[in-house]
Amino acid sequence: MPSPALLVSVPLIVAALLGALRRLIPRWIADLLAVLTAGGNLGLSCWWLAHALERTEVYWFGGWFPRGRMALGIGFTMDGYGCGLAALAALLTTLALIYSWKHMEGAGGHYHPLMLVFLAAMSGFAVSGDLFNIFVFFELMSTAAFALCGLKTREPAPLAGAFNFAVTNSVAAFLMLTGIALLYSATGALNLAQIGLALAGRHDRLVLAAFVFLTTGFLVKAAEVPFHFWLPDAHAVSPTSVCVLFSGIMVQLGLFGAMRIYATVFQGCFAGTKIPWLFVVTGAVTAVWGAMMCFAEHHLKRLLAFSTISHTGLMTLAFGLWTKAALAGLFVYVVAHGLVKAGLFLCAGILLHRFETMSEPALFGRGRALRGTAPLWFLGGLGLAAAPGFALAVGESHVTDVAPWAEGIFFIAGALTGAAVLRVGFRVFAGLGDAGPVDRAARVDEKPETTDAGWRVNPVQYVPAVVCIGGCIALAFWKGMTQVAGSAAASFMNFRGYAHMVYAGATVIPAAEAHGWLAHGWLAAGLRALAAVAISLWAVLHLRVPRMLRWPSHLEGSMKPVRELQSGHPGDYVAWLTVGCAVLGAAAFWLVL
């Protein structure tokens, strides 16, 4: 049986090798080694995922098994959710590296080592069963992400974006460390199962404070409102292949961190309380806010970043419902969204490669020649709208089956984010209507990230985007996906089973029922897709309708006061983070005490 430690150790070893030899080996060797390493991680994580769906296990480093209730050793928890996210991280990293094969500037040879360190950190974060090691991998993931965001050190914009990213997420890390210290003072333990057993039934002020600090730290990484301001700034200046990982998996790992500590540490503390509604309300506000800001944007990377914020809000809402069906739908949604969003960013990267801009008005009508990019972009827009035939609609149908009232939130978020992407497609690839309003972000000159910018597109660049968009469609018709998600959800929610696995070594997972679309899914998905297309055409052709009926174009231009909150100043972002932490804490105390 292969050791799960290889998920972290192999990428780190290869990263060190590439870093040491970066000036001695040709670029193609660095590309090959990086792709093979990420591909190996993908194969290993998929093997463990298949194993975890039948029997979840804990791998103890150095043979430090628990003695009685004392768990001093460091363990990797190989369950369905963790292994699934590790597999998604490896898949997206592999595709991002294929996209940048001999294509993106290597930034002095630092690009490949940083990508592999990022992969190792994400893999370790997804399967770690120790609270302090979750923090360590969180920090390693953040450090690699900061460096990748500011990869072009000679340009001021990437450095500014990386600085905002670093400041905000460092404050989040401080809050997490404070929460860990509080839990350690109360239990003397760092293992998640041991802490959960020690705190069962206890929700005093110390436990609540630890919950608020830890949850805030993870929600900053998940870019929930009002902790989200750093994400659009980071996306706007990061290389395309890095944006694939930021939106496709890193943000979702922030939410997964909050889910993991709630399921293992705080589930027993807050049983019977309304604490999960914190996530429902936060997710709903984030989904609607992100969708409106997405439709108001005209810089392609920032637009896609706000769509990530919106859809992560939907995932947070699903988590707050805290049922097996909702968590199964959430798992499907996370995978599907990661694929669709990666495909859209890769298409945006192709536009940047050819035209050296991410401005929707500047790209007006210039994409007609990119016949391979246009259909992928439009399919991606329909995917974000959770149209029929896409796996996002399958996940959404399982969530709204639990809470039918949530259909309205999913409808608004899906229709507006899908409409924003389709609007860009109609303007850029079809030249319909006018070029649209020019906002401050759309005026920023984009620096090329490739050595052959403006040249024809290499066919290899299309392969990852086709895999991503095609994969999201294929998953919608694979009934086994819901079975995998159901088994993972059942294991994730079962704290007694998790504790038994930690102390006894393994737990057998009962098979979940396999089913695809729910009855109401087709109708809701179809209406949402029609709304997205209608809103996008309404916005593009607004000059052809009476002035009183031009509200989509008004939404494009009337969000300026709200968009000014995205000031680009880290002090403002930390202030909002502080306000959000205070509101979250007050709400938690009100719901429990």
Give the model's pLDDT for residue 498.
Answer: 86
Which residues are CB-contacts of 451 (< 8 A; sequence separation ≥ 6)? 103, 105
Radius of gyration of the chain (CA): 23
Structure-derived torsion over alpha carbons of residues 356, 362, 365, 370, reported in degrees to the nearest 10:
20
> What pLDDT is recorded for position 157?
75
Output b/e per residue, 220-240; b: 16+ Cβ within 10 A: bbbbbbbbbbbbbbbbbbbbb
Long-range Cβ contacts of 152-161 (<8 Å, 24+ apart): 152/105, 152/107, 152/447, 152/449, 153/107, 155/237, 155/447, 157/236, 157/237, 157/444, 157/447, 158/237, 158/238, 160/233, 160/237, 160/568, 161/233, 161/234, 161/236, 161/237, 161/238
What are the CA-CA distances from residue 292 to residues 421, 559, 564, 565 (Å)? 13, 8, 14, 14
Tokens of 315: 């995932």
List CB contacts of 293: < 8 A, sequence separation 6 or more.
306, 309, 559, 562, 563
- At 210 the pLDDT is 95
CA nearest to 250, candidates 146, 346, 167: 146
Q: What is the pLDDT of residue 515?
A: 53
Q: What is the DSSP letter of 12?
A: H
Q: In the prediction, which pLDDT does 221 show?
A: 94
| C-beta atoms surrounding 399 within 10 Å | 27
Query: What three-state secondary structure class fits 362?
Result: coil
Q: What is the largest CA-CA distance in the chain?
A: 75
Q: Please give the pLDDT value at position 355.
A: 87
- For 303-320, letters b (16+ CB in 10 Å) and e give bbbbbbbbbbbbbbbbbb
How many whole angstroms separate alpha carbon 92 and alpha carbon 245?
6
Q: What pLDDT, on a 0 to 100 scale, did the predictor assign at position 467?
A: 95
Q: Supply the pLDDT for residue 213.
A: 96
Q: Which of 555, 6, 491 is nearest to 293 (CA)?
A: 555
The Cα 97–Cα 196 span in angstroms is: 39
Residue 105: predicted pLDDT: 63
Could you give the percent of the chain with pLDDT greater than 90? 56
- pLDDT computed for residue 520 by the predictor: 60
- Please give the model's pTM, rounded to 2 decimal places: 0.94
**Strand order across the 506-508 sheet:** 75-78, 55-60, 506-508
Token readout for 444 is: 């920023």
Residues in the chain where the model's pLDDT stays below 50: none
